Chains A and B, each alone.
Chain A
Amino acid sequence: MVHRADVLQSFKKNGSIVIVGASLAGLRATEVLRKEGFAGRLTVIGDEPYEPYDRPPLSKQVLAGWVEAEHTTLPRQHPLDDVDWRLGIAATGLDLRAREVHLADGQSVDFDRMLIATGVRARHWPKEDEARLAGVFVVRTRDDARLLRQKLETKPRHVLIVGAGFTGSEMASVCRDLGLTVTVTERSASPLIGALGGEIGSIAGDLQRQHGVDLRCNTTVTALEGDAERTLRRAHFSDGSTLDVDVAVIALGSIRNTEWLRGSRLAAGQLGVACDAGCRAFDINGIITDDIFVAGDVARFPHPLYAYQLIALEHWGNAVAQAEAAAHNMVNSEAERRPHISIPAFWSIQFGVNIKSVGLPPFADQVVIMQGSVEQHRFVAAYGHKGRTVAAVSFNQGRWLPYYERLIASAAAFPPTPPAYDVPIPLHPVPAKFPAANAPTSTPTIALTGYAPDEICATYLEEPPMTPVTVESGGKA
């Protein structure tokens, strides 16, 4: 009889692991694998040519000119000299049966276990000819940030930011700090609506306007117009107006990097790669795999506090915690497995305000100001879902969040017991105003084929059906 412990020990000594994705999650996983004694072959594949670097500063300190884009390399918490770094080469496919990752340069790497940490990329302006105009930018990578920073140094006369999510809002803030004229368009009724809801988002909107941003909500850009030199000159808006701009930063969110997994027979699609709380990927039929793990922005995982819905989080802290859990589980026995169930958290800096969040605000139906003053942009708001506290967001009051994190963890009633000072009395819960569920997607991915119980299985649809249908919904706003 083969003992599982022996198999595990042999794997830790002589096995091979491939990590696809060389950003924060990939790096942290690599470190934990070595720290926990994995001595076998370790390969890290990344499509960018750089060592893992930190992205949060790109839309803040790098854009503001405090930090060079090149100075964002993530510190190593463990020596990783014996790791095979394949940087600048994208993974293009996964053959689960052969246990091979195919690379863009035609090579392939075999593995015993694999971690998918391919993250997301920026969603570009959808009209390709307009997206190629000089003056149109996105910010996701170090190169993106360096190019936009160079442009901002030329003191453009008018910057247009398309989309008022966190990245767009942070960049608008930096541009105002640089003394630039800034217009921000936002499809919905307020900035940050997807993450914080309309009620708190409208406070962020006030903040933008007070800092001199020309914020246009319920407005979309219909066209970007260039001149004969293919240089951006003008933007056209959904209300029929136009504006002369020389920079447009597209901040329309991100696209999960899962295309390379098409045909891999994993549960991978535009919402991410589905996995369990132990970070093991589901196959296309929804059966758990043993050797394929997922972490970071690309992972969709169930969280017990949020009805086990599959959620994907583009949070720095989530990438770290999930990568650590995944790496731990990759080199430990079933009995030692660890769930990734940390409470989500993120932060942002914009317009002089430090915004922090714990829990999952989009899960909420109501929100209440618990402490501080909305007028002074210093407050804590708690979010509730059917009478339970599920999230809290602070504007310049982050030191109180551990208290709310505990309330969230203990499924405390909503609204929570009020603090003893600096409280608006009485507490007044109002609708949180999150937009309705995700818009239906136009690219369905999966159907069932076969009839007999031993034949039936899920499969990718190569041709889209006539009527769009939603396969997956909910979770991530």
Chain B
Amino acid sequence: MAGKSLFQQVNDYAHRANPYPLYAEMRKTPVLGDEDGNYAVSSYRLITELLHDPRLSSDIRARPPDDPKQQAVAQSSISPAFIRTDPPEHDRLRRMLTRQFGPPHTVGMIDNMRGDLEKYVNGLLDRMQDRKQIDIVDDYAYPFPVDVICKLLGIPPEDEKRFHGWAEDIAFSLDPAIGEEGRKLIAKGLVARNELGQYMRALIDVHRKQPGNDMLSRLITDSSADGRLTEEELVSSSVTLLIAGHETTVNLITNGTLTLLRNPDVFERLRHEPDLIIPLVEETLRFEPPVQFNSQRTALADITIDGVTIPKGAPVYLMIAAGNRDPVRFNEPDRFIPDREDNQHLGFGSGIHYCFGAPLARVEVQIALNALARRLINPRLVVDPPPYRQSAVLRGPRHLLVDVDGIKP
């Protein structure tokens, strides 16, 4: 198709395996409007500026009534989650959720999970010991974070079969609604979100009657200066935590593994230098971010940035993956440098919507990749590039086949 805008090409599945040349092209016009009225912002500096700009909204309800995402929100039976709201509503919800997730109210929770997480990933690898080929996605990167988020929230892990399809449809509906195909994805996402909401509503009811020590129970029973979460807020928040808690982490583990397989010297180094994992995961977040761009932001006023005016009501796409490879900010941006210094990447975003789950994601991925480095014997990539999932926003391989000579005990 001739005449496709750069932004449309990024969303085109044909470019999923390697969108980075498109991002480089995009950065030549760091604020790029297209005929659909979309604005893509792709330089590190401008993305950072807009992530802190209180005239940019995360609330889809701010869009014009003919916007497909706006319509989907209007038809949804559950209210927008905290990541889709603006202050002061956003701040209140996030404060209440944070109380059960991290300091100062919940101290040491994630750190205390390390032992269990290590046990779990090693258990997965133990069960594959007689295998010569594994699919990093289906065998490893998917089951691990799903199990973690289920246990954390208090969702029976065996229900994964029920919510798997919904989660995927919701994830895919995060893409921009481009053309008829895009509208279909949005519609599917709406149905899935309503159904997952129904499921959560029932689960919350169970936890309300018999509270445990899981996060869902604590969110239900907690009260603070901000009061209690309403039923609606509990449903929308827990749906979001469940989706965000694994869809992104799956991609980060897989993208990390793929990058290591493409850089065998780094993989080898990690084997001998397990502490390298800390900067290495940060570099993965920069190099292959699991959220490639923010797709839900809207200008609430005319915003003039570097001489370009984004009109009020326009969808604004913050191209995280492009900013992460901006040569103005990062030396040799297209090289994977596992111990890169001064690596203030945008992989978790910035500003008030900075990734809620970042502390958990970091620990999960550090543990998952280190276990692979320690235990896989002579791992080799089978197909490069691997087949990718549909989503342009939550970009990651659908399968990642690896041949191994064996798995160390």
Contacts and interface: CB of A to CB of B under 8 A. Distances in A.
A79 interface: no
Nearest to B50: A403
Interface residues of A, number: 15
B55 A420 contact: yes
A133 B396 CA distance: 68
Nearest to B305: A406
Given A420-B300, A422-B86, A422-B87, A399 B352 contact: yes
Contacts of B13: none
Contacts of A378: 91
Contacts of A403: 49, 52-54
A403 B51 CA distance: 9
Interface in B19-36: none
Given A372-B88, A399-B351, A399-B352, A417 B52 contact: no
Main secondary structure on chain A at its contact with chain B?
A: mixed
A378 B88 CA distance: 10
Contacts, number: 46
A451 interface: no
Contact of B52 (A402, A420, A421, A422): A402
Given A420-B55, A420-B300, A371 B87 contact: yes
Main secondary structure on chain B at its contact with chain A?
A: loop
Contacts of B251: none
B358 to A, nearest CB: 14
A99 to B, nearest CB: 35
Interface in B159-203: none
Interface string B49-64: 1001111110000000
A163 to B, nearest CB: 28
Contacts of A400: 52, 54, 351-352
Nearest to A378: B91
Contacts of A402: 48-49, 52, 351
A421 B354 contact: no
Contacts of B49: 402-403, 406
Contacts of A371: 54, 87
B337 interface: no
A420 B52 CA distance: 12
Given A402-B48, A403-B52, A421 B301 contact: no
A238 interface: no
Interface string B68-108: 00000000000000000011100100000000000000000
A453 to B, nearest CB: 51
A373 interface: yes
B300 A421 contact: yes
B352 A421 contact: no
Nearest to A421: B86
20 contacts: A371-B54, A371-B87, A399-B351, A399-B352, A400-B52, A400-B351, A401-B52, A402-B48, A402-B351, A403-B52, A403-B54, A417-B55, A420-B300, A420-B301, A421-B86, A421-B88, A421-B300, A422-B54, A422-B86, A422-B91
